[in-house]
Structure 1
Amino acid sequence: MPRLSGELVSMACRTLPWGVVGTAAGAGLLLASLTRITGETGERLSLHLLRAAVLAFATGLVFLLDDPARHTTSTVPTPRPVRIALRVALVVPAAAAWWTAALLLVPPELRPPVADVTLEAGAAFALAVAGAAVAVRCSEVTRPGPPVAAGLLTSAVLAALFWPGRWALFVPVEDDRWATAHDRWAVVLGGAVLVGALGSVEPLRRRAGGLRPAGGAGASRSRPLR
């Protein structure tokens, strides 16, 4: 079992889209580094740049479940929830290191409250992975990343522009709604984790579909000749 687990981890590590995630991480760090040249524009612009960096990295995370060999690996004995959880577990340390670097790039005097923006980042990352998991569960596509990335970017823009003010999520630090907005971010994070967990479960119809050929075809072949 230890040898099998090691092989599973190695295989998952090799199939992860490190190139896409790395490119998104680089773009995010570049945006975060721009906070050092904001001059007198202050904390508000730094917050916008940090949020843009989070969105850039989250856009890379939606490719986490891309798997060209998906229809081949679906027949292996390891359940799909375990395979998805393994991919997520492998990328979590990289995401944590990236977020630490992004925060350190922001000058301390311009850095927004770390706990609150970390909550925003966690919610965005969870939404990205949850969107990919739902796309995999509800379709047969092997590369859900591109459409989910487009949906994530569109949703972020629409939420920033048209989300009702009384339910605002993207508020500046000095806004009186800052604390309330982050209560909503906590709800978003919890909802994203729940949706992601439900989306990682194999659909029942596929399980049933996988059992019918074994029962039907196998029984007909074993029927004695008369």
Structure 2
Amino acid sequence: MIRYTGRTVPWRALGAGAAAGLLLAGSARLFADGFSPWLALNALRAAALTFALGLAFLLDDPARRTTATVPVRRRARQALRVAWAAPFAALYWTAAVLLVPADLRPPVGAVTVEAAAACALALAGAAAALRRTDEPEPGTGVAAALLTLAVLTALLDPWNLFAPPEDPHWTTAHERWAMILTAAALGWATWSREPTTTLRR
């Protein structure tokens, strides 16, 4: 089961998200003379978002109508996929952070909470789409919704989620990011359960 699950993980989508994110993070090193700490922070935030967009495809299962009848519960199948993706995500994020020059690098712990929240939202959205529809590959719609949410939040930013480190709201913003992370993780845990009734189109 573990080996089979590893073959079904959408590595291309994850790899595409990681490649785009590393290019964004690496731009801080390539153009270090023209970069400020604020630009480096937003490059890392964009890198976190691109990987989260790739992660939105993690639960896609073209054979969903076949695997729905297997004895292994949906939560276990999804958890195995997450377990396969987690080391790759950790390696990717470490590389992205290290690509930013040390003198431009924002507080790593705080930005990591933002990245984890974005990834958790992608997983929660994918799990919710699988639970509420019979679509076997909802990743495209989930990624589009996540991107729209990120753009609208960044433009409006009613809760100062994207405050810079010198902003007095920095600590409060990351307390809110931690709450988003917790809520998204709970959402995934809830929506990854098997539905109690058969879903129809």
Same fold (TM over 0.5): yes
1:17 to 4, 10, 31: 10
Residue aligned with 2:147, SS = helix
Q: Give CA-to-partner distance per residue, 1:134-181, whole Å, 9 cap, x none.
A: 0000000011100000000000000011131xx211111111100000
Cα distance in 2, alignment partners of residues 41 and 66 from structure 1? 38
The answer (yes or no) to whether the contact 2:61–2:136 under 8 Å persists in 1 is yes
Cα distance in 1, alignment partners of residues 62 and 34 from structure 2? 48
Question: TM-score, with normalisation over the residues of structure 2?
Answer: 0.96
2:187 to 179, 184, 195: 195
The answer (yes or no) to whether the contact 1:38–1:45 under 8 Å persists in 2 is no
Cα RMSD, aligned residues only: 1.3
State the shift of 1:40 in Å: 4.3
Q: Give CA-to-partner distance per residue, 1:42-99, whole Å, 9 cap, x none.
A: 1000001110011000000000001100010010000111000010011000000000
Partner of 1:171: 163
State the shift of 1:38 in Å: 3.8
The answer (yes or no) to whether the contact 1:103–1:111 under 8 Å persists in 2 is yes
Cα distance in 1, alignment partners of residues 91 and 197 from structure 2? 39
Cα distance in 2, alignment partners of residues 25 and 201 from structure 1? 28
Partner AA of 1:21 in structure 2: L
Partner AA of 2:69 in structure 1: T
Cα distance in 1, alignment partners of residues 154 and 77 from structure 2? 34
Cα distance in 2, alignment partners of residues 91 and 78 from structure 1? 19
The answer (yes or no) to whether the contact 2:28–2:35 under 8 Å persists in 1 is no
Partner AA of 1:146 in structure 2: T
Partner of 1:224: none
1:94 to 88, 93, 96: 88
The answer (yes or no) to whether the contact 2:124–2:191 under 8 Å persists in 1 is yes
| Count of matched residue positions in the alignment of Structure 1 and Structure 2 | 199
- Flag structure 1 segments of 5+ consecutive residues without an equivalent: 1-7, 210-226
**4+ residue runs over 2 A deviation:** none
1:32 to 25, 32, 35: 25
Partner AA of 1:103 in structure 2: V
Residue aligned with 2:165, SS = coil
The answer (yes or no) to whether the contact 1:24–1:57 under 8 Å persists in 2 is yes
Q: Give CA-to-partner distance per residue, 1:178-221, whole Å, 9 cap, x none.
A: 000000000000000000111101111139x9xxxxxxxxxxxx
Question: TM-score, with normalisation over the residues of structure 1?
Answer: 0.86
Larger helix fraction of residues: 1
Partner of 1:216: none
Q: Does 1:120 align with 2:114?
A: yes
Residue aligned with 2:70, SS = coil
The answer (yes or no) to whether the contact 2:52–2:118 under 8 Å persists in 1 is yes
How high is the sequence identity, in percent, across the aligned residues? 55
Residue aligned with 2:197, SS = helix
Alignment of 1:1-226 (within 5 A): 8-36=1-29, 37-164=31-158, 167-206=159-198
Cα distance in 2, alignment partners of residues 23 and 11 from structure 1? 22
